[in-house]
Structure 1
Amino acid sequence: MNLEGITSYLEQNKDNQDVREFVNGLNPVTIDRVKDFATVNDDGRNWLQSQKDSFFSSSLDTWKKNNLDDVVMSKVKELYPEETEEQKRIRLLEQKLEEAEKKEKRETLRNKALSLATEKELPASLVDYFLGEDEEKTIANLAKLEETFNPYIESKVEQRFKDTGRKFQKGSGGDISIGETLAKELNQKPNVETKLSNPWG
């Protein structure tokens, strides 16, 4: 029987147990053959890589499930260690001191603003609404109030005079605006909470 006949016979009887054992005995599976298949053959190399990836992913998921919480908590404790009672007391004292300093700074700023408002003849009751983050911003806010307040009051008074048929004239020989006069009157009322209302509707 020639090689072609043997090949044909083996192909026809490939399901036969004796034939399978015979063929496997001719070319047994060895470590070297597996290594060659996994490193030289493209299909073998791709299969082995997919097995590695699958194993790595599974191992990583298991590790995360069993260890990640502990690692994270350990790192958190390292970065933010728990306060001792003494550290907690110090932190609370520092917070109170900071709040007191802020309050004192705001009160100083408010007193400065009240002084400036009185000097500019602006209503003291509006000062709290125009306090800024610092003295510079507070002064700028009060300047805007002054620019808006006095002309607004004067225009309202002038319109009221026109509606009644009289001519509008500034008080005190025209040196002091009606807005300044009203503000001065409001500021001179002691211990009375001033609420501005529009007397002209």
Structure 2
Amino acid sequence: MSIESFDEVKEYFEKNKEDETVKGYMKGFVSLDGVKSFLESDEAGKGYLQSYTDSKVSKGIESFKANSLSKLVDEEILKRSPSTDPMVLKLQAMQDEVDALKKEKERESLLNKGLSLANQKKIPADLIPYFLGETEESTISNLSSLEKSLQAYTQGLREQILAGGSHTPPAGGSNPTGLITQADWDKNKNDLDWYEKNKTKIFESKKQGLIK
């Protein structure tokens, strides 16, 4: 019988599938050895095997890229350089802003405390920002040291003035215009601002015996 096409082959096998010769042939063709021989030796078989392998490998690579590669790359980048993660950078910026606001508020509180102490201790207010500490305790300590230093300085000036000489006050104990009276001296002598502003008058008042 002459067979002209693959369809005729199929039809032949279908019609003669019970034939022992056909059965034997079909069994030989679809056996493991037959399949291996077809895939390894036949050009069409080898082409099919390569195409099948490439397809499976390509699908595997695409699946890996879609499901795992991006995550692995992100994890490795984050491990090597955490600061490159946008969320980390955003959170860090927010934390820095909160820390800055907190520090500013704490400094404002310390400044108010320092100004209150300066008023009590008669310390010039414009010096306070330079003596603020990190805590209230350190600020109080700094201002106490400043107070002692200013008192020592003032005492030195006072002694210089008092050592400048004395003068017998005019009869009747009158006070020339603009000079310091004993009452003014007793009231304000520990006020550093007042003392600095009135040094010349204090010196002259001492010379005239108006203050002791």
If the TM-score is normalised by the length of the shorter chain, which range does it land in? 0.3 to 0.5
Radius of gyration: which is bigger?
2
Q: With structure 2 as the length reference, what TM-score do the two structures score?
A: 0.44
